[in-house]
A and B are shown apart, each in its own frame.
Chain A
Amino acid sequence: MTIDQSLSHEAPTTVAGELHGGRLLRDLPDDEFLAHYQGDRFTMSILAARFNYVMEHVCSHLLRGAFSPIIREYYDFSAGLAGPPGLDYATAAVAKTLPVFFGIMRDAIAATVDEFGVGRIREGDLLVCNDSYRVGTHINDTCFVRPVFYHGELVSFVAIRGHMLDMGGIVPGGFSAALNSKYEVGLTLPPMLLFRDDKPVKSTLSLILDNVRFGDIILPDLLSIHSALAEGERLVHESLDKYGIDAYLGAVRYACDASAETIRTSFEALPDGEYVGEDVMDCDAADPDTAYKIAVTIKKRGGRAEIDLTGTSESAKTSINCAWPDIKSVTAMALKYVFKSNVPFTSGILRHVDIVAPLGTVVTAQAPTPVMMYFEASFALGRAIMNAFANVLGPEAIAGGTDAPTHYAHGVLPDGTPWVEMATCGGMMGPFGATSIGDADSGETNYFTNYMLPPIESIELNSPVMLMRHEYLVDTAGPGTHRGGAATLKDSQWLTAATATMVSSHGRYSTGTGVYGGRDGRAGGVWYWNSIEDFRARHPFLVPTDDAVYASSTPVAAVVDPETHVLDPKGTFYSWGQEALYDTDPGAVWRYLVHGGGGWGDPYERDPQAVLRDVRDGYVSIAGAAEDYGVVVLGDPDNDPEGLVVDGAATASLRATSGMASGR
């Protein structure tokens, strides 16, 4: 049997390539639909749903067998199901895990298979590639691709992107924004054969395991990934047995076409024009004075769009860059947000969107320019795209959320055992921004990730650290008719000497930008207290949160008063890159306060009873209620929260007075 390559995608933005002549899938006559997709609507829907079922089973299988906490508890992996080369690797489903992998899945599979050689793969193979410049993200996120053959014909691929605990390089675990070239980042794997005939390829395994730390964890993870993808292949075979190859391939195309159609019609609902947005990253580790701009111009005509990154800053000298594949992931995620779309994630999402991406920018770094903390640049791009749409969407705009500064540490236990802690003790959790629908959640991931923060008990079991605080801070949420989420404050105390790295690309200002008249969330910061003797004597347990405590801290990423180290928008910017590695003594405490989420709509339009509820729940203080919302709340929120009341007359007077003063 030969796959009918005439069913491959036409170039979608040519006149000839307009799918179904521009008609919607629902408007196709049944016979035409059947002829095009080799199955009826019901069968296509069943198969498209089954693709997601396969992905869920692959993920469950991996979660059951994974040894690495970053996979097992953090969900730092994803899976994908793609069509054969004849369908141009159209990717019909991805797992519902980390979306940073979604948009790169199709290109990663295609680049891996094509460079290895389609004619060289066979049943029982497992290919591997981790090169950021070929497959995106960073080298820890290794791409594993398993071909699926059916009666001797290559019909599909199942793939996993999974974070390996270490990939060599000069920093254990790899996470550092101060790396100067790809050669410091770690081991690059071009497309290679990891398994043949379902047996590990000894030379490839040795290459990996001889160059990484924590091989005793990585080896079983590799075996688990092979097993999970073998399960995926078995489930694909079940579908092929039941529905046949023509319907299977038709459903791959149908799933992608349905996604493409949803995004196209969403664009059609917007006015034609050019939407401009930007985001600015504070600096890299080499120079606190030089910022990096991500410039976005979205040109929109009918159902077509072009996202032009011309004018984006050149690549940074240290490892805050991302490579070109990541552009697609954040673009697709941003579109899903701004269109509030439940469209299933397939490679078809970007069919009607061309991205103009000059190479050599901070989001299109080229080797050997270092790529490790790829999320700093790619998430900044996502924010720039959402900012561009915010100017057009009006009341449907989404306010900005947390920036998620990340913390990494490593060290050695007294018995000589090395440890590494990744991205659990910094500002990983924070608020969303508000929308027209309502107030925003607090304690979420940022918009472009979807990881699970491991339980505190698990974090403390894995590493010599205690999580001392993980709480919301009052008056940090962006005021609005709908309130932004509150900022999270987190304190971690390290029980052994530790070497830490961190990155926070938006310490100069809050990423929680308000929209539609809403105000910005309060800016946060990062500080640490080393285990100096008198400090521990004064604060043997919890580090207080009052202003007086900050003078003895070292500000790391914040704009603060240079003497008191208290947050001050007119103060001095302290760069996270001031130290490549922060060496601290046993007992040191790190504090992360993330930015508050942005508000939506005029805060003086907020229902006073909603403000009262926020005061009762600790999101807003009595003083903040008056200052930010013009609402006078009477009572004692700490000792008699249910006794709080709104002074209606005083509120009306304050809102009228403040409104006149501010020109409302």
Chain B
Amino acid sequence: MSGQNGTSTTRRIAPPIEMTREQVAGACPSCGAEALERYPVLAENGWYTVVKCQRCLVSASRERLDHIGDVQPLVASLEDGDLY
């Protein structure tokens, strides 16, 4: 409970945010395990959507996302050709 002057005797943890992972059919190209999942990652050179083996961490595929992930400035809703 909060007291006066910003004191506190109890503490709760703000809710966690989870990452949604999609299971993908097929075998890992490296170890053969059927443990592929699709999810976004932040890597050496920016954001990717990967399909990755959860047993050996080898990626079956990596698709480039925008440089700033799925954050889209509002101006991106306009066509480049419409902008000076």
Contacts and interface: CB of A to CB of B under 8 A. Distances in A.
Interface size class of A (residues with CB under 8 A): 35 or more
Given A15-B30, A110-B67, A356-B41, A288 B2 contact: yes
B8 A289 contact: yes
B73 A314 contact: no
A492 B67 CA distance: 44
A313 B68 contact: no
Contact of A13 (B8, B15, B19, B62): B62
Given A293-B14, A305-B57, A360-B17, A355 B41 contact: yes
A133 interface: yes
Contact of B16 (A282, A311, A579): A311
Which of A348, A354, A362, A367 has the largest count of B CB atoms less than 10 A from its CB? Answer: A354
B4 to A, nearest CB: 9
Given A107-B46, A289-B1, A572-B9, A316 B14 contact: yes
A12 B44 contact: yes
B41 A361 contact: no
A146 B31 CA distance: 44
A295 B16 contact: yes
Contacts, number: 174
Interface size class of B (residues with CB under 8 A): 35 or more
Given A13-B62, A15-B29, A574-B5, A359 B14 contact: no
A9 B45 contact: yes
Interface in B1-33: 1-3, 5-19, 29-30
A662 B22 CA distance: 50
B45 A293 contact: no
A578 B6 contact: yes
Nearest to B75: A190
Given A13-B62, A288-B2, A578-B6, A314 B14 contact: yes
B13 A292 contact: yes
B11 to A, nearest CB: 5
Interface string B30-72: 1000000001111111101010100111111110000111110
A313 B13 contact: yes
Which of B15, B39, B67, B70 has the largest count of A CB atoms less than 10 A from its CB? Answer: B67
A354 B45 contact: no
A356 B29 CA distance: 21
Interface in A110-144: 110-111, 114-115, 133-134
A328 interface: yes
Contact of A314 (B17, B45, B60, B69): B17
Given A290-B14, A360-B17, A14 B59 contact: yes
21 contacts: A15-B58, A110-B67, A115-B73, A289-B2, A290-B13, A291-B12, A292-B13, A299-B57, A301-B56, A306-B41, A310-B19, A312-B16, A314-B15, A354-B50, A354-B52, A357-B42, A358-B18, A575-B8, A576-B6, A578-B6, A579-B6
Interface of B: 1-3, 5-19, 29-30, 39-46, 48, 50, 52, 55-62, 67-71, 73, 75
Given A110-B45, A290-B11, 16 more contacts: A9-B44, A11-B62, A12-B44, A14-B58, A15-B30, A106-B44, A111-B68, A292-B13, A324-B69, A356-B19, A356-B41, A356-B42, A357-B19, A357-B41, A358-B17, A576-B6
